[in-house]
Chains A and B, each alone.
Chain A
């Protein structure tokens, strides 16, 4: 019988929620890493028991955790857990938490680039945390990390060590990238199941980028985006993209929740057009695609960039069955009064059971689930810490 495992990252720890295929009764495990910020957890499609987690703290920095038993136990990759170790000989341990930006050998080891600071001056890159972890679709030991300040790192040894993929920051547009309110973060990584050399990323606030050569080189893919909050609304880079999503069977079609505007691309990001349609507001953070219907997409409209909560205090998921423009509110089981939570960019996911399950978490600590593609909703848990991220594993 199928099972579902929901991985929830919160402001104060991680939680693992499990259910059978009916998705009506849930077991809650956690908090794992209590007291730490868990920005993101994601499981490998190659080995579902392999889960990577980004554990972070303003005091103690970045920790990468890995589970090889479906979230029951965790270790820092490459570092023996438990008792005091004899000082290690040979390869240094504790490398799994080390994210060091690439430097330019031809410039004598100087930083690859700088970025725009809040006051318009140029500022060096400073590593803060891992926002998003994306396991490879073909190798459980290969995993990508999107970090703040924005860059992409790769590990090919199960997270034991990480190296920056410098082609992204080496693109040359770095001086025009700038931090959004949440920092300058690389938060979205979409791998193309049909073309292992192609991937998409998105950065707040720089925009979306694509590589077609496995990460050696990247191009901005922001044509069609219009952002009134930057000097040139049609600029090549500088857009505050909040999240991007694609259906695995149709990876050339991308959907984007921008700071304002819901966008769509039918040509792998080369051009975008707006599909906000009849949404009550097109500000928001999450966007996701139905597991079996590539034209069915979901967003959670948020009132504005100044008021990060649902319009009218009504928590509504909007679904489009037409790939955008025509949207219907989904409200059954969701609070329709006095609700002032937010749904952050990585806090929505779908399962792949016959009746597609949709899941999202709120800054109020609720994780809602629908086992019928959004028609009806029920909370799995109501009182977690603020939810940063939600991922789902469909297990056979």
Chain B
């Protein structure tokens, strides 16, 4: 199972706690993780990636194993620690605004 940590507003929207576990088939990439997340929690469609283009929303970042993966290819395989559930895939909202 892949662990995904969501920002607070998306936890509220999806009625979940800080972290969710999802089953991802095939290669473990940003795209496959987010596809599986949206399939399990359809209320999150459009909130992390643009509904149409599937591009990351500008004020969100993806952190993995202490690194910013936001600008990596969505099809680049994620680290084994994420694939094995040791480390979560973090969706982070920019600290901005009031």
A36 close to B (CB within 8 Å)? yes
Number of interface residues of B (CB under 8 A): 31
Q: Which listed residue, A61, A80, A88, touches B57 by the CB 8 Å rule?
A: A61
A104 at the interface (CB under 8 A from B): no
B46 to chain A, nearest CB (A): 4
A47 to chain B, nearest CB (A): 23
| A81 interface hit (Cβ, 8 Å) | yes
Chain A residues with CB under 8 A of B57: 59-61
Instruction: Check if A265 is an interface residue, CB within 8 A of chain B.
Output: no
The reply to whether A84 and B43 form a contact with Cβ atoms under 8 Å apart is no
A82 at the binding interface (Cβ < 8 Å) = yes
Question: Are B51 and A59 interface neighbours, CB within 8 A?
Answer: no
A62 to B13, CA, bound (A): 12
For residue A28, CB closer than 8 A to chain B, the reply is: no
Contact B9 A60 (CB under 8 A): yes
Q: Which residue of B lies closest to A78 (CB)?
A: B42
Interface contact B43-A61, CB-CB below 8 Å: no
Q: How far is the CA of A58 from the CA of B39 in the complex (A)?
A: 23
Query: B40 contacts A87, CB within 8 Å?
Result: yes
Enumerate chain B residues within 8 angstroms of A92, measured Cβ to Cβ.
Answer: 42
Our count of residue pairs bridging A and B at CB distance below 8 angstroms stands at 75
Minimum CB–CB distance from B17 to chain A (whole Å) comes to 11
Measured in the bound complex, the distance between the Cα atoms of B16 and A60 in whole Å is 16
- The answer to whether A60 and B41 touch across the interface, beta carbons within 8 angstroms, is no
Structural contact, B9 and A57, CB atoms closer than 8 A: yes
Contact B94 A100 (CB under 8 A): no
For A, the interface residue count at a CB cutoff of 8 angstroms equals 29
Q: With a CB–CB cut-off of 8 A, which chain B residues contact A80? A: 42
Q: Once the chains are docked, how many angstroms separate the CA of A121 from the CA of B57?
A: 25
**In the bound complex, CA of A80 to CA of B15 (Å):** 11
Residues of B within 8 A of A86 (CB): 40
> From residue B49, how far is it (CB to closest CB) to chain A in Å?
9
Contact B16 A97, beta carbon cutoff 8 Å? no
Residues of B within 8 A of A94 (CB): 38, 42-46
Interface membership of A98, Cβ < 8 A: yes
Establish whether residues B42 and A88, one from each chain, have CB atoms under 8 Å apart when the complex forms. yes
Say yes or no: is B77 at the interface (Cβ < 8 Å to chain A).
Answer: no
Q: Which B residues touch A83, using CB under 8 A?
A: 15
CA distance A114 to B75 in the complex (A): 32
Q: What is the CA–CA distance of A98 and B49 in the complex, to the nearest angstrom? A: 11
Residue in chain A with minimal CB distance to B36: A87
Are B13 and A63 in contact, with the CB atoms below 8 A? yes
Interface residue? A79 (CB, 8 A): yes
Let me know if A76 is at the binding interface, CB within 8 A.
yes
Q: Are A84 and B47 in contact (CB under 8 A)?
A: no
* Residues B9 and A97 in contact, CB atoms below 8 Å apart: no
A93: Cβ under 8 A from any B Cβ: yes
User: Whole-angstrom distance between the alpha carbons of A81 and B16 in the complex?
Assistant: 11
B8: which A residues are within 8 A, CB to CB?
35
Task: List, in ascending order, chain A residues with CB within 8 A of B43's CB.
Answer: 63, 76, 79, 81, 94
B10 within 8 A of A: yes
Tell me whether A396 is interfacial, beta carbon within 8 Å: no
Distance A99 CA – B7 CA, assembled complex (angstroms): 23
B15 in contact with A60 (CB, 8 Å): no
Tell me if B45 and A93 are in contact (CB < 8 A).
yes
| Contact (A97, B41) CB under 8 Å given A81-B15, A83-B15, A87-B36 | no
Closest to B20 in A: A84
The listed residue with most A CB atoms (<10 A of its CB), out of B39, B57, B94, is B39
By a beta-carbon cutoff of 8 Å, the part of chain A in contact with chain B is 34-36, 57-63, 76, 79-88, 92-95, 97-100
Question: Assuming A62-B46, A63-B43, what are 4 further A-B pairs, CB within 8 angstroms?
Answer: A59-B7, A60-B10, A80-B42, A84-B20
A-binding residues in B (CB < 8 A): 7-10, 12-13, 15-16, 20, 22, 36, 38-48, 50-52, 57, 59-60, 93-94, 97
